[in-house]
Structure 1
Amino acid sequence: MSTEASRVRTVRLASPEETHRLGVRLGELLEPGDFVGLIGDLGAGKTHLVRGVADGAQVPRSEVASPTFAIVYPYSGRIPLYHADLYRLTDYDDLYATGFLDLEGTESAMLVEWLDKIPQAAPRDYLRVTLKHAGGEARELTAEAFGARPAALLDAWMG
């Protein structure tokens, strides 16, 4: 996993609706092979962002669910999309046992919540998105690109 981001963007989001809209834009831009790791405390807005990404990737809303208990959930939309939640896992061995690692290199995009719990789950090139509480409903979103494709994705997403 790369240790230094090639691009970083930070934006303040005033509401869950803004978080969702930013997610929609990301979902419209995702391509097979893209990996987005999401980091943030409970209630930081990861789910709002993921639902937006799914909308942008044209995943039917009825398919979007929290994968906390399934660990990995597949979605069918404009592109295949996997949504993983590492919250309940304790280490890399737990992750290995889920079959998650078999998904890398497939013709799909991946959204992985709680990547900070098992950072080695990220491939070398990925986009890391951190959400933090910023008072009331506001959130601060920081996106960091590791690698050429994630940098291009970040530029297209947030300029």
Structure 2
Amino acid sequence: MTNINNIQNITQIINGQSTKVSQARGQAQGFESLLSSAQEEIEAAKEGTQTSELGEISAPAFDIQTVSSIVTNKTDKLLTGLESYSSQLNDTSFTLKDIEPVLKGLDEDATSLLEEALSLGEDDQELIDIATSTAITAKTEYLKFQRGDYL
């Protein structure tokens, strides 16, 4: 007999679950109505305010330098440095200790210029000759200074 009583309990539990399922379906229908009303409000807001499309955004212009323009700029910088160096040698207010950092900078610039000049093609042979001559002049002055020719 106890088994029969269990069947009644099971039936009550199943009936309780079916009520819960029907309540959940009612909530789902309520959610659907809320969702559709929210979508309608969004569409109405879109229709009320017109937004303009974004146009094409142009990229900034890049200044692309070729190897020959880099060598030209470095040669010009080195020639300007050599001119400044020669004026400091003639000026008695500058000591050799004052001139030494300038000359070290010229030596580094000359090394950099030689490396760039080697990467030029055969079409730029005149530029290679000018850059090489300028770099050799700077390196020679550095060696003379280190050797003590100006003491």
Fold shared by both chains (TM-score > 0.5): no
What is the TM-score normalised by the length of structure 2?
Answer: 0.21
The structure where helix makes up a greater share of residues is: 2
- Compare CA radii of gyration and give the structure with the larger one: 2
The structure where strand makes up a greater share of residues is: 1
Bigger RCO of structures 1 and 2 (CA < 8 A, at least 6 apart): 1
What is the TM-score normalised by the length of structure 1?
Answer: 0.21
